[in-house]
Structure 1
Amino acid sequence: MLKPRNIGAYRDLFVLFTKYGRKDFRLNLSAEDLFAPSVESEAIESDVKARAEAFAQALQKMGPTYVKFGQLLSTRPDIVPQEYIDALEKLQDDMPPFSFADVEHIVEEELGVRISKAFSEFESTPLAAASLGQVHRAMLRDGREVVVKVQRPNVAEQVHKDLEAFTDIARDLERHTDIGRKMNLVASIEQAKLAMYSELNYLQEARNTETLRVNLASFPQLYIPDVIHDFTSARVLTTELVKGRKVSKLTPLALIENNYAALAETLTRAYLKQICVDGIWHCDPHPGNVFVRESDGKPEIVLLDFGMVARISQEFQDEVIKLLLAISSNRGTEVAESCVRMSQTRERFDAVKFNRDISTIVAAVHDSSPRSINTGQLMFNVIAIANNNELIVPPELTMLAKTLLHLDAITKKLDPDYDPQRVIRGYAEDLLGAKLAQKFNPRNLYPALLDLNQLVLDLPHRAREIIDMTAAGRLTFGIKLSQAEEFLSGIHKIANRITVGVVIAALLISSAMMMRVPTSFRFFGLPGIAVLGYVAAAIAAMYLIVSVLKRDREDRERAKLKGK
């Protein structure tokens, strides 16, 4: 339910999307839409671009939570057009910085020491400013160069307040609109809340960094900066300074002089391991968070900013492997089946239509040239088709698509002819070997052995109980009718309507008969009792009609909610 204290936020969101997103956002996508030619794209391009720039500026004025929301939208090409993506991507590290006085106050409060005591140098001008914080270059007393990320003042409180309003709106939209239900808005907002709360805790980011450093130690061409734990707190994160160049800033000359194709393959393999083997991955590898540097005369990839990570279970990992292999091998039916296994189905789900739609888009991508293949875009298309076919896709799959979309952009920047499908197929054997070793690890077999031991011990006793109860005639079976209550409710509803209908008919018949009986009590020259009977019948009929319409509408709403 919407809360009065959040009225301002509700108004801002309503104005924002009515003014900018109503014309341009695609909230309902079918397989036919993916192959339909663009209509009058040149005529409206300038208008769309202007609206996109205005939308991004409006988000920036509304605060950090809205900026973060815009950044998430920039990774949804299935919803927003390219003009919006280009405008929203500028929000990643192009925010106004906050004052150095605030930086000093936060650092000294968090670390419990003056900046001049902890650091021999601390630049007042930030290297970059983002929605939740900004980074400064500094030097420790022992001579190590570091970067210090400082959280914006009071940003945590503002984010909590804004996310509460987002959740209220998502619940209402999901309860009352088909679009809200199809897009699984509440689960998506909850996933975003977890990600943002994690990003606001720099101690959690430090732990994420250390975990991924260990998990990716087998990739020598990939580097993750070390965390300086003694100078890290919930709102201050200190890591070693890594000198390099953002992937987004690589010039055509640098790409010609250096062969980065091997780096693109290494990066893809590293992410496949994170997602499919480790079950925890860095899900924000946008070009601003990925650097290239020279180490011992060889190029090396550097990953930064581990505030946003995603985690999935081993069962989900197995499904992701099947999904990616099916995509790379043009097996559309297997892609659809894997997607169904990971998702929840509603009552109106049509498996045949969904298989056909997914097979169509997978085949179209497989027939494309390596330059035009975008696995992340394909994943978002699969999600959009699933939403349109009465499937509830888990938010983790959306995070995976977001990661792959960023990864595609980076690898294509490093190697324009890069073919991710080839690498996925080539790495499949290593992935399967790693998964089998993981599954048959003795530590994973202990619970199964304990269960088996308990089963062996209990089986003779349970079997004897069943035999004894059968011999004594005491063995019974219980059947639970899961929909008995709904069935009985429907019967009662029909009986009530029939009863009211019979009463109306009786009133009409009796009133018609009373018209022939002369009485002194009259209305407009007609027998009064007969007129009262007709009025009562009319009121009862109106009640019946209204109650039927109202109850049917409630039943439809309940069915939609149950379909979730």
Structure 2
Amino acid sequence: MIRSIRNLNRLLTIGRVLARHDALFLLEEILPVARFGSRLLRGGRAPVSAGRPGLRLAAALAELGPSFIKLGQALSTRADLLGEEMAADLSGLQDELPPFSPEEARRIVEEELGGPLANFYSSFDDTPVAAASIAQVHFATTREGREVAVKVLRPGVEAKFHRDIDLLYWLAEWAELTVPRIRRLKPVETVKTFEESVTLEMDLRFEAAAASELAENFRGDDNFKVPEVDWLRTGKRLLTLERVAGIPVDETDRLRAAGIDPVDVLAKAAEAMFKQVFRDGFFHADMHPGNLFIGEGGQLIAMDFGIMGRVDKRTRRFLGEMLLGFLSGDYRKVAEVHFAAGYVPADQSMDTFTQACRSIAEPILGRPLHEISIAKLLGQLFQVTETFAMETQPQLLLLQKSMLVAEGVGRILDPNINMWHLAQPLIEGWMRENLGPEARVRETVSSVVGSLERLPRLLAETEKTYAMLVNQGLKLHPDTVKAIFPDQGRIRRPSSLLAWVIAAGLAVALYLK
């Protein structure tokens, strides 16, 4: 009850902001009364925002602060929930806030490092170079003379986020209870995924670990660089990275003036995206132009590792087969992999889903090569899933958003080249290596070897269980004895074969437990 009162009070505050921007439609599906509250909450005044619904919503979320800016960015991946136009409008939501004071930044640094700032940095620039909803960045120089970028968590952001996440859970639970058709979209699970993502983003040690893992994956690759983590100057609310310099990827004139071919950069970007998704299953999920720079010689330099995505090998195989099916026009194959992966229930029509895939793909793939958007194709596929009772796949939604951002970068570099066309041979090679006959033989051999390695333990458990049966007997409840031997007043000592069968069954059960 207290939780409901607290959340209703918070919801009223949020409702006023949404109403001021004429964006109360966000709550109308869950709370029908909201349809009548917009003018009332505005006090009869005109909305402060104009334009499409998604633009008005983005303005309202920006005013509501850090948690809702992050929520808007997460919702921009949900074209299946909000529609393609609104999702696109939210994708432009700027994660920018006024900076907090340098005194606060210095205090947090000293608390995290456990001593005066001068013990760790010979200089610390009080003017931040970037200020976002979660943290802001200052340039500094270490005592050893290395130039670094210091990311400092915004004070109080954790408490505000946890307050707002409880409200989102409450609304999601209410939506699942009152709007049955929304349940397949898994609103509670979506909030949980959002909570996990932002919780990790607010612990800068996790961002440091993500940067370190990505750097390890690309060790020895001269085309892709990740700044080195300074672990001695990193903590929960503090991240220190090697300071790097480069040209923003969207400044193509500067790239050409520096003798760097944008087409070459695009090819490297396509290869890096392929390696992250298919080779490693670990990808940068926020690679917008502000997080991607080009160093000398056309080297890609990634920044900001707060939002990362993972796809397991099974999902990578599904994605590879699906992409190749779409690119080759084999829509039956696309449908088959959806059914095989369990994304579409078996009671749905394979033929009808094949037809749906064709209806989505043909208008997109029939365009000139450079205009083809795989991300848009996936987005439209997710939108028709309700017809086929296909459950939402959060890991694919994040990947689809990342693809959309990557395609945007690709069109900036060269609008006449399709990055997926550049990546197609890489995907096909990966598929041959991981789905071809040799790969299947390797998997079979690996499975057999694994079974043989477990066999000694299984036999040992069987021997031990058999000894227990022989020496101590198997004690059963009288009712169980009567059920097994209805025509006998007593149970005979198990035969050797029966004992072995029972022992083996028990050993397997114990092993699996």
TM range (shorter): 0.7 to 0.9
Deviation at 1:199, TM superposition (A): 0.7
Report the aligned-residue RMSD: 3.6
* Aligned 1:518-537 pairs, distance under 5 A: none
Change (3 A) 1:139 1:466: farther
Alignment of 1:87-236 (within 5 A): 89-92=92-95, 94-236=96-238
Pick closer, same or farther for the CA change 1:149–1:303 going to 2, 3 Å.
same
Residue 79 of structure 2 contacts residue 382 of structure 2 at CA under 8 Å; is this kept in 1?
no
| Partner residue in 1 for 2:314 | 315
- 1:264 corresponds, among 257, 266, 269, to 266
- Alpha-carbon deviations, 1:240-288, whole Å to 9, x = none? 111122224x154645864121221222222222212212211111221
- 1:382-531 matches, cutoff 5 A: 382-432=381-431, 435=434, 448-452=448-452
Matched residue, 1:8: 9
Q: Who is 2:57 aligned against?
A: 55
Report the Cα offset of residue 67 of structure 1: 0.7
In the alignment, is the contact (CA less than 8 A) between 1:290 and 1:301 conserved in 2?
A: yes
In structure 2, distance between residues paired with 1:316 and 1:247: 30
> Percent of aligned positions with the same letter in both sequences?
26
CA distance, structure 2, for counterparts of residue 386 and residue 201 of structure 1: 35
Distance 1:454 1:84 in 2: 50
Paired with 1:283 and 1:321, the residues of 2 have a C-alpha distance of 18
How far the C-alpha of 1:232 sits from its partner, in A, is 0.5
Structure 2 unaligned regions, length at least 5: 30-47, 463-493, 499-513
1:4–1:265 Cα change, 3 Å: same
Contact persistence 2:204–2:236 (CA under 8 A): yes
Tell me how far apart the structure 1 counterparts of residues 200 and 231 of structure 2 sit (CA, whole Å).
17
Q: 1:342 to 1:429 in 2, by over 3 A?
A: closer
Shift, 1:114, TM fit: 1.6
Change in Cα spacing, 1:83 to 1:436, as seen in structure 2 (3 Å) is closer
- Structure-2 change in CA distance of 1:327 and 1:21 (3 Å): farther
Distance in structure 2 (CA, Å) of the matches to 1:76 and 1:292: 30
Q: After superposition, what is the alpha-carbon deviation per residue over 1:494-549, rounded to whole angstroms, capped at 9, x for unaligned?
A: xxxxxxxxxxxxxxxxxxxxxxxxxxxxxxxxxxxxxxxxxxxxxxxxxxxxxxxx
Matched with 1:290 is 292
**Contact map agreement 2:15 2:24 (CA 8 A) in 1:** no
**Separation of aligned partners in 1, 2:443 and 2:231:** 31
The Cα shift of 1:109 comes to 0.3
Q: Report what 2:327 is aligned to.
A: 328
**1:380 corresponds to which letter in structure 2?**
G
CA distance in 1, matches of 2:176, 2:337: 25
Match of 2:467 in 1: none
Letter in 2 for 1:363: E
Once the 2 structures are TM-superposed, how far is the Cα of residue 359 of structure 1 from its aligned partner?
A: 1.6
CA contact (8 A) 2:266 2:419 kept: no
Structure 2 distance, partners of 1:393, 1:241, is 39
- Count how many residue pairs are aligned between Structure 1 and Structure 2: 442
1:446/1:200 CA distance change after superposition, 3 Å: same
Alignment correspondent of 1:524: none
- Amino acid of the residue matched to residue 91 of structure 1? Q
Closer, same or farther in 2 for the Cα pair 1:218/1:331, shift >3 Å? farther
1:329 is displaced (CA, Å) by 1.7
CA contact (8 A) 1:245 1:293 kept: yes
Evaluate the alpha carbon distance shift between residue 467 and residue 327 of structure 1 in structure 2; reply closer, same or farther with a 3 A threshold.
Answer: farther
What is the match of residue 533 of structure 1? none
> SS at the partner of 2:227?
coil
Are residues 52 and 290 of structure 1, via their aligned partners in 2, closer, same or farther at CA, if it must alter by over 3 Å? same
Question: Structure 2 CA distance, aligned partners of 1:84 and 1:417?
Answer: 25
Distance 1:218 1:429, change over 3 A: farther
Distance in 1 of aligned mates of 2:300 and 2:414: 14
Unaligned runs of 5+ in 1: 28-45, 470-564
Correspondence list, 1:326-365, <5 A: 326-345=325-344, 349-365=348-364
Query: Residues 310 and 441 (structure 1 numbering): CA distance in 2 closer, same or farther, change over 3 Å?
Result: farther
Match of 1:495 in 2: none
TM normalised by structure 2 equals 0.76
Note closer, same or farther for the CA distance 1:205–1:443 as it changes in structure 2 (3 Å cut).
Answer: farther
Q: CA deviation at 1:423?
A: 2.2
Provide the C-alpha distance between the structure 2 equivalents of 1:383 and 1:90, rounded to a whole number of angstroms: 22
Partner of 1:525: none
- Post-superposition offset of 1:348: 7.7
Structure 1 337/162 Cα, relative in aligned 2: closer, same or farther at 3 Å?
farther
- Answer whether contact 1:375 1:420 (CA < 8 A) is retained: no
Describe the shift of the 1:343–1:68 C-alpha distance in structure 2 as closer, same or farther (beyond 3 A).
farther
Q: Residues of 1 paired with 2:156 and 2:441: CA distance?
A: 46
Distance 1:433 1:350 in 2: 29
Closer/same/farther in 2, CA of residues 389 and 5 from structure 1, 3 Å limit: same
Please give the secondary structure, in 2, of the residue aligned with 1:392.
coil
Whether the 8 Å CA contact 1:49–1:84 is kept in 2: the answer is no
1:369 equivalent in structure 2: 368
3-state DSSP class of the match of 1:238? strand
Relative to 1, partners in 2 of residues 1:123 and 1:444: Cα closer, same or farther, differing over 3 Å? farther
Residues 215 and 149 (structure 1), Cα distance of their counterparts in 2 relative to 1, 3 Å cut: same
Of the two, which has the highest radius of gyration?
1
CA distance in 2, matches of 1:21, 1:206: 37
Aligned pair in 2 of structure 1 residues 365, 26: CA closer, same or farther (>3 Å)? farther
Amino acid paired to 2:94: L
Please tell me the residue identity of whatever aligns with 1:316.
T
Q: Which residue of 2 aligns with 1:35?
A: none
What is the CA distance between 1:301 and its match in structure 2? Answer: 1.0
Q: 1:178 to 1:466 in 2, by over 3 A?
A: farther
Native 8 Å contact 2:140 2:148 kept in 1: yes
Which shows bigger deviation, 443-452 or 280-289? 443-452
Per the normalisation by structure 1, the TM-score is 0.70
Partner Cα distance (1:443, 1:117) in 2: 54
DSSP-derived class of the 1:110 partner:
helix
Task: State the Cα distance separating 1:391 from its structure 2 match.
Answer: 0.7
